[in-house]
Amino acid sequence: MASSQLIEQYRQWQTFQRQDQLSREHFGVVQRLEDARATSKQVVEAYRSMAEKASTEGACYRTLFLRKRDDQHALPCEGWLFVRRVLSEGNSTRVRVTLVETFTLEDGTLAPGDKPARKLTLEIFEQVQVDKGMRTSVRVDCLDAPEDYHFITLLDAVRGDLRPYLK
């Protein structure tokens, strides 16, 4: 087997390993949020805090989200969110963000700037889970790209060096 072919297979294996790790991480965080019974009000306040830090410090937050593929399977992707604005009207809360993707199964690991940043609108809402005794849980889905949904943004993973890539 040629050395270049072996290296290519190794990189492909690394990509699949990363995808598996993100799948487990996304599932685990979803479970922890459900167990903690996080409310949409708490999530809205967290996004307001992120927007404040973004405007003053240029903070971007690590996010995991599901992307539905052509075959209807959904796999987690990873990126960094710059939260521009939180808009609340009545019972509806929308969040304007800029997403810098850093991992997808198709592309593997991406450096900031490899793919253009996307401006998106996320919606925060309560989801009723009938399979768990009519329990509610909070969800954050993308309105602009319906194939991207169930965003989980991590408050403890922050960086401030992505401003040049947000345009």
The predicted-structure confidence for 107-153, as pLDDT tens digits, reads as follows 999 999 999 999 999 999 987 777 766 678 889 999 999 999 999 99
Q: What pLDDT does 110 receive?
A: 97
3-state class of 58 per DSSP?
coil
CA 78 to chain centre: 6
Residue 136 host element (H or E): strand 135-142
Strands (E), 22-134: 60-68, 74-89, 92-104, 108-109, 118-129
Q: Percent of the chain, pLDDT > 70?
A: 96
Answer whether residue 92 shows pLDDT above 90: no
Mean pLDDT of 56-78: 95
Q: Encoding tokens for residue 104?
A: 């997808």
